[in-house]
Structure 1
């Protein structure tokens, strides 16, 4: 997950930095630092990514069009 994907995922979910921080169990400062491009521990980034994935975000790898995110399809078929 890169900085742009993090921001895109937050917008897709309608989350601010504080919402993401609360759901991921990290400080809002941690989210702000990451989104400014500062380095975080790999485990912290993994926690943030897992939080997004649990909320229904799928990360799209770079495939010629650049990396991105999308909301996953609901499991119940709706």
Structure 2
């Protein structure tokens, strides 16, 4: 499951604004803001909305790193 910090970090790596993510996902700005809020986060969003954000960011080149003892994270895929 993604967390709010991963979404914000992914946007930063892509140099995307919240409106850019809105455009890529078709979700509302309010939904994106809630998903990026540490107190709300994606855990309180629908599975479809979380999947939409994850898919949009991965399509743009983001790799999500799961929690594996070292903490979750993101990185930008190396362009081939």
Tell me the TM-score normalized by structure 2.
0.87
Match for 1:63 among 54, 59, 68? 68
Q: Count how many residue pairs are aligned between Structure 1 and Structure 2.
A: 75
TM-score normalised per structure 1: 0.89
Structure 1 runs not aligned, ≥5 long: none
Q: Flag the structure with larger Rg.
A: 1
CA RMSD of aligned residues (A): 1.0
After TM superposition, which residue ranges in structure 1, 4 or more long, deviate above 2 angstroms?
none
**How do 1:1-78 residues align onto structure 2 when only pairs under 5 Å count?**
1-36=2-37, 37-38=40-41, 39-74=44-79, 76=80
Q: Any unmatched runs of 5+ in structure 2? A: none
